[in-house]
Structure 1
Amino acid sequence: MRTAEATFEEWASARLAALVRFAYLVTGSQDAAEDAVQTALTTACAQWSRISRTADPDVYVRRMVVNANISAWRRSGRRELSVAEVRDRPTGRFDDPGEQVARDDAVWRVCEALPPQQRAAVVLRYYEDLDYAEIARVLEVTEATARSHVHRGLSALRRELTTPEDGHA
């Protein structure tokens, strides 16, 4: 079935799980992810005749999810998130599954502290495996800006997750 011929309901049913997963990675919260997807799909439904004719409706709606998250973030007035300080990190492989869970949690807490555009760019690059041109389209920025967002986000992650004693994450 071609996207242009798909009804909104067919397209949304097929893409809902991926959109919620993407939104969760962008927002860091299941509730916020569901809210962002609901907001984006409500708008997309009203504009489906136009959106369905675009080259890639997925990119368009992903951008709507990112915008919905940024709008919610701005409305809440939150500019900073608390990040738990994790200093006792193992330097080798994880023998204890609990250590891996703690490490993943620490990485996610640092990701949550990134500005929304940087977090979205990092998620699009490393979780959605998009190239910089695709990230630029989703975020509606230039490719250089997309690269900058990813670079700055990764720099912040490295800075927060590098242990002072060994210089490694």
Structure 2
Amino acid sequence: MDDAHDRAYADFVRERSHALLRSAFLLTGDQHLAEDLVQEALARTHRAWSRLERPSNAEAYARKVMYHAQVSFWRRPKVAESLPGDGLDQHGGSTEDPAEAAVRRVALRRALLSLSPKQRAVIVLRYFEDHTEVEAAQMLGVSVSTVKTQCARGLERLRTLVPDLRLLADAREAGR
């Protein structure tokens, strides 16, 4: 790779690695696994850098690698899931009781981990990263109908596991 490609890749890593890590954490539920997942995605992106049509495609490519690597990881013999600490970012300025917020985050995290890897990937893309169904389908390399199906099943499971999410969504809708 030449210097311009190296600089472009280094800029990409500097600018987007934090966002990739946030998504990876939501997918894995573990900071260390998330870091490994991002490292794998960035390494594969670096190898493919010269083949990417535009550097702007790099993030989509890295995310697709991340989601597929996560699904592959869960297809391997089962790994023990642990929930050490609460690694999700705190959103400042909230009037919500911090204890209730922490309980809700832990419950949501556990519920996300109970979803299938495909459902988790779709939920993260759609609701944590605000991608459209079409964008999520492209990133995951599946059809839009698969995204819709996995999303509906995942949301239903989340609503069953964390009833507070339904109440929170209802309260937000009433406030609009």
Q: Which has the higher helix share?
A: 2
TM-score range normalised by the length of the shorter chain: 0.7 to 0.9
Q: Is residue 40–residue 65 contact of structure 1 (8 Å, CA) maintained in 2?
A: yes
- Structure 2 match to 1:120: 121
Cα distance in 1 for partners of 2:58, 2:43 equals 14
Secondary structure (helix, strand or coil) at the match of 2:76 reads: helix
Distance 1:95 1:145, change over 3 A: closer
1:56: which partner in 2? 57
Range with greater deviation from structure 2 (114-123 or 48-57):
48-57
Give the equivalent residue in structure 1 for 2:75. 74
Percentage identity across paired residues of the two chains = 37
Matches within 5 A, 1:82-93: none
- The separation in 2 between residues aligned to 1:134 and 1:150, in whole angstroms, is 13
Mapped pair 1:140 → 2:141: yes
Instruction: Give 5+ residue unaligned stretches, structure 1.
Output: 84-93
Q: Scaled by the length of structure 2, what TM-score is found? A: 0.76
Give me the whole-angstrom Cα distance separating, in 2, the residues matched to 1:40 and 1:67.
Answer: 10
- Find the aligned partners of 1:153 and 1:11 in 2 and give their Cα distance: 31
Matched to 1:24, the amino acid is: F
Paired residues, number: 152
RMSD across aligned positions (CA): 2.7
Structure 2 unmatched runs, 5+: 84-94, 169-176
Q: TM-score, normalised by structure 1?
A: 0.78
Which residue of structure 2 aligns with residue 87 of structure 1? none
Once residues 117 and 96 of structure 1 are traced to their aligned partners in structure 2, the CA distance between those partners, rounded to angstroms, is 32
